[in-house]
Copies of this chain bind each other. A is one copy, B any other.
């Protein structure tokens, strides 16, 4: 149980920060890894609630924060300014459809290096970035006919 690289990484993070590896923390990570795509905290809480031994809201919040700090998930905001999480895979950016709410992930190397170049020109040392393009997705565009 709990042997995939994500669990190992999380354990490492916990150890490195003098925190204990507890069943609750591992269980929250497990709930997270079961999610597909983007998810809300409430989803996790609901999923946890319908289990034999449910985990408290407070602990889910606390564990999620640790998992985020461990770099395994990150948060973005939906069109409705709702906080949603996603599992950190490779870095990517987002297109968000204002009509249907769809989130399209993309990664463009030219874009990434152009950003570095811009930062360089301002003597700014970048560590990470967030880029969201809002608009209308291909599906919604075609619906409008």
Interface size on A, residues (CB 8 A): 31
Q: Does residue A110 face the partner (Cβ distance < 8 Å to B)? A: yes
With A114-B110, A115-B111, A133-B119 known to touch, is A124 a contact of B95 (CB < 8 Å)? yes
Q: What's the number of copies of this chain in the assembled complex? A: 2
- Stretch from A4-12, A20-28, A134-142 at the B interface: A134-142
Nearest-neighbour CB distance to chain B for A66, whole angstroms, equals 17
Q: Which residues of B contact A141 (CB under 8 A)?
A: 123, 125
The answer for the CA separation of A115 and B115 in the assembled complex, in Å, is 12
Chain A binding surface SS class: strand
Residue of B nearest to A107 (CB): B118
Residue of B nearest to A118 (CB): B108
Q: Does residue A88 face the partner (Cβ distance < 8 Å to B)? A: no
Nearest-neighbour CB distance to chain B for A78, whole angstroms, equals 13
Interface residues of A in 89-145 (CB under 8 A from B): 95, 97-98, 104, 106, 108, 110-111, 114-115, 118-119, 122-138, 141
15 other A-B residue contacts (CB within 8 Å) besides A108-B114, A115-B133: A95-B119, A106-B122, A108-B118, A122-B138, A123-B141, A124-B135, A124-B137, A125-B141, A127-B135, A127-B136, A129-B131, A129-B134, A130-B130, A130-B131, A130-B134
Which 6 residue pairs of A and B lie closest in terms of their CB atoms, listed nearest first?
A: A123-B138, A126-B135, A129-B133, A131-B131, A125-B136, A127-B135
